[in-house]
Amino acid sequence: MSIPIVTSVKHYFETLPERFQASASKGVKATYFFDIAGESGGKYAVTVDDGTMSVTEGDVASPSATIKMHCDDYVQMVNGELSGPVAFMKGKMKVVGNVVLAQKMTAMFPPGKA
């Protein structure tokens, strides 16, 4: 499966169902909230439920994990140009809530490749 490069945060979330690896989400029941700052940022909730997923735009109550980043850094990360752990260690990504669930996102939603 070829994972497309995205050009914006909105483009990423619009194509997320195509990226989703259902087998990697078996046994996972979580809501991820993305608070992406910057001109092309936005707020998105991704709900994963044991092999299925859905995306909604806007705030969500009681997410399992919240990911906060700037839009430019986020697009680099989802395109495979910036690793999640490096972004976290450099302070470019903040995770609030269940960090272990946040770490599982790479397998469920692998980054694109140029």
User: Which domains are present in the chain?
Assistant: 9-108 (3.30.1050.10)
Query: Residue 102's closest CA among 89, 88, 113?
Result: 88
pLDDT of residue 63: 97
What is the pairing mode between strands 93-97 and 65-70?
Answer: antiparallel
Predicted TM-score (pTM) of the model is 0.92
Q: How far apart are CA 23 and CA 83, in angstroms?
A: 22
The values of phi and psi at residue 86, to 5°, are: -65, -45
pLDDT digits (tens, 9 = 90+) for 57-95: 999 999 999 999 999 999 999 999 999 899 999 999 999
Q: How far apart are CA 95 and CA 103, in angstroms?
A: 10
Q: Are 43 and 36 in contact (CB under 8 A)?
A: yes
- Of 11 and 113, the structure prediction assigns the larger pLDDT to 11
Q: How far apart are CA 112 and CA 95, in angstroms?
A: 21
pLDDT digits (tens, 9 = 90+) for 7-63: 999 999 999 998 899 999 999 999 999 999 999 999 999 999 999 999 999 999 999
Q: Are 26 and 49 in contact (CB under 8 A)?
A: no
